[in-house]
A and B are shown apart, each in its own frame.
Chain A
């Protein structure tokens, strides 16, 4: 078996699987009306999302946005290669098509948590819901509902793509998302990462947690006493 080296750092993988678990839980808590839990999980995803954005600047090689910004030319070349119309290119990190999915998913999740903050529930609402009119809140809620379906489509595409690599390209992208390691195919110094930068991730995570706490607990204005009579 080929030697395997680290490509996806631990924090990126932890982010990925926590997000998967959170999305499943968020779907279930919405469907079965566990509002309090849904709202709290939503704040958790807010934190995950902000962490991933910061990790896109301060993370390890293949987690940094700057290292996988997809140019139209690269996307075109890669898509042609994938379909057998040219040389199939191997990427250790995100390939250009996968990179598009990363950014699309981050944007969709951003829309989802932002609208969720203003969404009214039966009892529990987003932390900022009472700062907008009922009409605005319900409009944002409708986007929240619609956008989740779009997220589901993106997730389906993502999973379909991973299995297409497994079955058609005989490339296993799944186990590296657990182990972080990919087999070394040829000598390419610098492509692999030395370590996961856990300490840096921990510091960023603490800052993010403090920010989310501020965002949902400290910053929202107290509801007017007129609400309570």
Chain B
């Protein structure tokens, strides 16, 4: 297959743009920081709302439904992949209200390892929810929960 010159340029341009966006940067204005924080909180809120019924099943507060686990797990995977991106903008030096602790950007490698662990736990849950038994699925839900808390314990303000 032969790509047109225009298409090649669009792809190259897109790749360049994405590297610019992906690179970690310090927020330079309150406006920029606020947008980063809003996006972060939006993703985390949706992670929370999609996780809540799964936790509810674990606690036997609502009936177990593997269809619902499949649906929410696939959403968790998508959102999980967005999560590291929303922390690319370092808001630690802007005086603004956020529960994100400065350590996120001071220990970025550790933070990244923790978000990666979360992504992998969400992917494992999505996989096991396809054909796994209830016990295995519940175990995978618990594993996702641990990766949420593992990060909150260290990088979220009390």
Contact = CB atoms under 8 A, between A and B. Distances in A.
Contacts, number: 37
Interface of A is mostly: loop
Measured as residues with beta carbon below 8 angstroms from the partner, the interface class of chain B is 10 to 19
Interface in A155-203: none
Interface string B84-125: 000000000000000000000000000000000000000000
Contacts of A121: 145, 149
Contacts of B53: 227-229
Contact of A123 (B58, B156, B158): B58
Contacts of A33: 146, 149
B149 A228 contact: no
A122 B62 CA distance: 17
Interface of B: 49, 52-53, 55-56, 58-59, 61-62, 141-142, 145-146, 148-149, 152, 156-158
A141 B62 contact: no
Contacts of B158: 138-139, 141-142
A86 interface: no
Contact of A228 (B56, B58, B148, B157): B56
B53, B59, B158, most chain A CB atoms within 10 A = B158
A81 interface: no
Contacts of B56: 223, 227-228
Given A123-B141, A123-B142, A227 B52 contact: yes
B75 to A, nearest CB: 12
Ordered nearest first, which 7 A-B pairs have the shortest CB separation? A122-B149, A122-B145, A142-B158, A123-B145, A228-B53, A123-B55, A138-B158
Contacts of A228: 52-53, 56, 61-62
A100 B99 CA distance: 39
Contacts of B146: 33, 122
A16 B61 CA distance: 34
Contacts of A124: 58-59
Contacts of A223: 56, 61
A33 B143 CA distance: 10
Contacts of A229: 49, 53
A142 B156 CA distance: 12
10 contacts: A122-B142, A122-B148, A123-B145, A124-B58, A138-B158, A227-B53, A227-B56, A228-B52, A228-B56, A228-B62
A13 B27 CA distance: 60
